[in-house]
Amino acid sequence: MNLLFVADAIEHFKIYKDTTFAMMREAQRRGHRLAVCEPAHLHWQRGGKVMARVRDITLTGDASHWFTASEPREAALAEFDAVLMRKDPPFDSEYFYSTHLLEQAEREGARVFNKPRALRDHPEKLAILEFPQFIGPTLVTREAQDIRRFHTEHRDIILKPLDGMGGMGIFRVGPDALNLGSIIETLNRDGSQSVMVQKFLPEIADGDKRVLIIGGQPVPYCLARIPQGTEVRGNLAAGGLGVARALTLRDREIAEALGPVLHARGLLLAGVDVIGDCVTEINVTSPTCFQEIFDQTGCDVAALFIDALEAALAQKTSG
């Protein structure tokens, strides 16, 4: 297969932990060809197809110089067997526009994973609203008085922006309501921006679990991201410790309920965040943790993903 990865600049990859790199390595091991571009390199003009300025790359196996690349060339996305959208959040306007270009490429015959429409339809904080049976007490609002009422009811709450990533902008407010007004002003920007508010789940002390779903099926191990010191956030980007664990019965129940629904919508890969028994986010843009799980358990998540990708392409071809 000839694969195009749409991602952040590969020169900045931290290959010891990067999931996109793990996908590339497994794909090359199987003999598939690799090319890369950034979202800024996508373009379209009437009368033509969605094009990109791409570089063909080969992985070297040398950690210090881990790839060689061709000179950039123009290529239609429809020429590739699969296009993998792996741009990291935030999901800003330019990301949104990229999904429209990728959807046009689909109309021209490209196969894009995850499906561009599904990326737009599943904002990572708000996607949980569809599955209330699996989430804790949650509020989405712009109104300060709504947040204050929620705090009065639940006493210990988490507030976060809808467009945050890596734990950015997350606040905890306890029973004393210390700084609640200032936090609301910071996040809702005088009522112009929506905020998600959730009851604090003390089970975070045991980790914020990333449960991966590939091709509608749960990966048997998750990565529990455990807050360190006085930090309330378990995100690895915020200093959390990643510990791989076998899925619990509840983790599996959640994954088996959500997996087929998400897969049917074109989400080949999703990362469901679970604290205790509750889903807190559904990550679809560029879910991670492949390498951490493999390093600690030997479960080759990248191989499971490429298996699913190959099966999806074979199904389309035979269909």
Give the distance from CA 296 to its chain's centroid.
Answer: 21
Distance CA 112, CA 147 (A): 39
Which entry of 18, 124, 273, 292 is annotated as an active-site residue? 273
Which one is catalytic: 25, 114, 283, 292? 283
Rounded Cα distance between 140 and 121, Å, is 17
Q: Which position among 160, 208, 235, 251 bears the catalytic label?
A: 160
| 46: annotated active-site residue | no
Active-site residue flag, 2 = no
Q: Is 125 a catalytic residue?
A: yes
H helix intervals, the chain: 19-29, 93-107, 116-121, 144-154, 180-188, 249-264, 290-297, 301-318
Q: Are 89 and 165 in contact (CB under 8 A)?
A: yes
Catalytic residue among 55, 208, 210, 251: 210
Is residue 142 part of the annotated active site? The answer reads: no
Q: Which candidate in 225, 235, 251, 292 is catalytic?
A: 225
The catalytic position among 87, 115, 125, 199 is: 125
**Residue 160 a catalytic site member:** yes
Instruction: Report how far apart, in Å, the C-alpha atoms of 97 and of each of 8, 35, 82, 151, 240 are.
Output: 16, 21, 20, 37, 32
Asked if the bond preceding 287 is cis, omega within 30° of 0, the reply is: no
C-beta of residue 168 within 8 angstroms of C-beta of residue 90 = no
User: Is 210 designated active site?
Assistant: yes
**Active-site option among 115, 233, 235, 251:** 233
Q: Find the catalytic residue in 18, 124, 281, 292.
A: 281
Q: Looking up tokens 């309330």, which residue turns up? A: 232
Q: How is residue 63 annotated by DSSP?
A: S
Which residues participate in catalysis according to the annotation?
A: 125, 160, 210, 225, 233, 273, 281, 283
